[in-house]
Amino acid sequence: MRSLVLAIVVALAFAAVPARTADETIVVGSKNFTEAYILGEAVAQLLESEGFVVDRRLGLGGTKICYDALVAGDIDVYVEYTGTIAEAIKNIDGQPTRERLAEVLTPDGVEMLETFGFNNTYALAVSEQVATARGLTRISDLRSHPDLRMAVSHEFLERGDGWPSLQRAYGIEEIPAGIEHALAYQAIADGAIDLTDAYSTDGELNRYALTVLDDDLGFFPVYLAVPLVRVDLDDRAKDTLRRLANTLNDSEMREMNARAVLGGETTVAVATTYLAEKGIVAGDGSSAATQFRDTLTGRLAANTTRHLELVVLALLPATVLAVLLALGIFKLPLLSRGAVYVAGLLQTVPSIALLALLIPLAGIGVLPAVVALFLYALLPILRNTVTALTSIEPTLRRVAVAMGLSPAEELRHVFVPLAMPSIIAGVRTAAVISIGTATLAAFIGAGGLGDPIVKGLALNDTRLILEGAVPAALLAVVTELVFEQVERWLVPGHLRASNSGG
């Protein structure tokens, strides 16, 4: 029975080793908000329609993670914004030209392709009703309507490049109230306020029938969406992606976002429709693989399998290392305390920070996620094992030596069996922690049940969040049950941690 379990675990571990990706595979990344998911998916589907094998790493946790991954070659393409490249990635003041941006990206081995056409920048929005009634079309028009009830997000109100500069540039005297961005749209719809700030491609602008005022003085920086690719990406792939150039304007992108956030369509479906309607891909661009990924069962199976892979790949070596380490050092009190202390220190590093720190060392995807989970799993196992070994009754230790057991026999027949309940409890704790922490691995493109959670957060889609959270919780429960069974096999009844009775 035990050997069967062992065989299954080993088989799982081997099955979990990701198949080596072929050289021609193109890894597509994206950030983790609605528009980024749609465009990332569109890029992936377009490449697939031309016969490329695509590995999707959508929903990566932010600009730094995406760009670093691209530079490191962990992904081959993702969609970025020109304003973000200038301000966040390269710290260039003012509004650099396209040529200047291309120039600063080249040393990183990164090439900027043509823009999708739309500009996702800051915008001021008023309700259509008010716009029509007062004839508002441009920000300049605000000067002659000081009585408008304005409320903008706190960040926009405070930022140097937000309201204070806009006020100077346009000569507007009024100071708006501050409002939580998520509440502003509802406030406009209810007629409580007349104007708020927005991102120009927010889907909500359509839903609440808002008019975006034209930035007639060109005050806001330009955030044109552009595919960033690695210079060494296949030329045919680059040419394929150039077909996306100038295919979307602001209101079309806004419409696509609205369908994903508010209309209940998946980002995959929105991307497919976009490619087909614009004639970028003939017919239905989604491959069979995409179709499979997009059914609930398919996603659940793929995400759960990946999640288990991450946990098992981290937990097995962590268990082996932590137990061996504990066995090696438990007779040396200083060293044991030191090791437990260091493992505890690792535990205090926030998981997102640890994942980000690992990118330069291990890239993105499964490897850094497994490394992070491995580091987190060490402490509970190491601490439990060391504590159990050091608290074995001194008489038993003395008897073991005096009987003539060799150090190896002592471990095998006395120390390990006596510590076994605590070791199992430690591995069990580590497993449950890993299952929870592994959901964060989606931020660095490792997939798993965190994928729908991250995406659900971005799309404000509770159903998607549950699609990740419920299986993750079930997995934790099943893990508890499995470990109870393992303990039943390995530990006699009266010594079981989970059973205080005889």
Of the candidate residues 17, 92, 209, 403, the single one contacting another protein (CB under 8 A): 403
Binding status of residue 395 toward another protein by CB under 8 A: yes
Which of 401, 470, 474, 482 touches another protein by CB under 8 A?
A: 401
Q: Which of 413, 462, 463, 488 binds another protein (CB under 8 A)?
A: 413
Distance CA 397, CA 415 (A): 8
Residues 6+ apart with CB under 8 A from 209: 127, 128
SS3 214: strand
Residues in the interface with another protein (CB under 8 A) total: 21
Residue 267 or 385 having the CB closest to another protein: 385
Q: How far is the CB of 494 from another protein (least distance, A)?
A: 6
Query: What are the φ and ψ backbone dihedral angles of 90, each rounded to 5 degrees?
Result: -115, 0
Rounded to the nearest whole angstrom, what is the least distance from the CB of residue 399 to another protein in the complex? 4
Using the rule CB under 8 A, is 406 a contact of another protein?
yes
Closest CA to 179 of 120, 259, 125, 258: 125
Which of residues 301, 396, 470, 482 is near another protein by CB under 8 A?
A: 396
Given the complex with another protein, which of 168 and 398 has the nearer CB atom?
Answer: 398
Question: Is 405 an interacting residue with respect to another protein (CB under 8 A)?
Answer: yes
Q: Any long-range contacts for 161-170 (C-beta under 8 Å, 24+ apart)?
A: 161/221, 162/122, 162/197, 163/197, 165/219, 166/139, 166/219, 169/217, 169/219, 170/139, 170/140, 170/142, 170/143, 170/217, 170/219
Query: Would you put residue 404 in left (φ > 0), alpha (ψ -120 to 50) or beta?
Result: left
Alpha carbon distance 405, 480 (integer Å)? 35
Q: Which stretch binds another protein (CB under 8 A): 106-114, 225-233, 303-311, 417-425?
A: 417-425
Cβ 230 vs Cβ 73: under 8 Å: yes
Out of 51, 264, 338, 492, the only residue in the binding site for another protein (CB under 8 A) is 492
Q: Is 89 among the residues that bind another protein (CB under 8 A)?
A: no
Regarding 488 and contact with another protein (CB under 8 A), the answer is no
By CB under 8 A, is residue 495 in contact with another protein? Answer: yes
CB-wise, 62 or 417, nearer to another protein? 417
Identify which range of 159-167, 186-194, 217-225, 398-406 contacts another protein by CB under 8 A: 398-406
Looking at the Cβ atoms of 289 and 403, the one nearer to another protein is 403
Residues whose CB falls within 8 Å of the CB of residue 7, separated by 6 or more in sequence, listed in order: none
Q: How far is the CB of 489 from another protein (least distance, A)?
A: 14
Q: Which is nearer to another protein, 413 or 463 (CB)?
A: 413
Q: Label residues 290-319 b or e (16+ Cβ within 10 Å = b).
A: beebbeeeebbeebbebbbbbbbbbbbbbb
324 burial type by CB count under 10 A (0-12 exposed, 13-18 middle, 19+ buried): exposed
- Nearest distance from C-beta of residue 410 to another protein, angstroms: 10
Selected binder of another protein within 28, 113, 224, 418 (CB under 8 A) = 418
Chain positions 424 to 463 lying near another protein, rule: CB under 8 A, are none
Nearest approach, Cβ of 394 to another protein (angstroms)? 10
Of 4, 19, 22, 402, the one binding another protein by CB under 8 A: 402
Q: Taking the complex as a whole, how short is the minimal distance between the CB of residue 401 and another protein, in angstroms? A: 6
Give the span between the Cα atoms of 172 and 188, in whole angstroms.
Answer: 21
Stretch that binds another protein, among 21-29, 204-212, 268-276, 486-494 (CB under 8 A): 486-494
Which of 22/408 has CB closer to another protein?
408
Cα–Cα dist 369/50, whole Å: 31
The only residue of 282, 494, 500, 501 in contact with another protein, by rule CB under 8 A: 494
**DSSP class per residue in 478-490:** HHHHHHHHHHHHH
Q: By rule CB under 8 A, what string of x and - marks binding of each residue 39-68 to another protein?
A: ------------------------------
Neighbours of 29 (CB within 10 A): 30
3-state secondary structure 106-129: HHHCEEECCCCCCECCEEEEEEHH
Cα distance between residue 492 and residue 495, in whole Å: 6
For residue 442, which of 16, 72, 28, 59 has the smallest C-alpha distance?
Answer: 59
From 94, 107, 160, 502, residue interacting with another protein (rule: CB under 8 A): 502
Give the interface with another protein as residue ranges (CB under 8 A): 395-396, 398-399, 401-406, 409, 413-414, 417-418, 420, 491-492, 494-495, 502
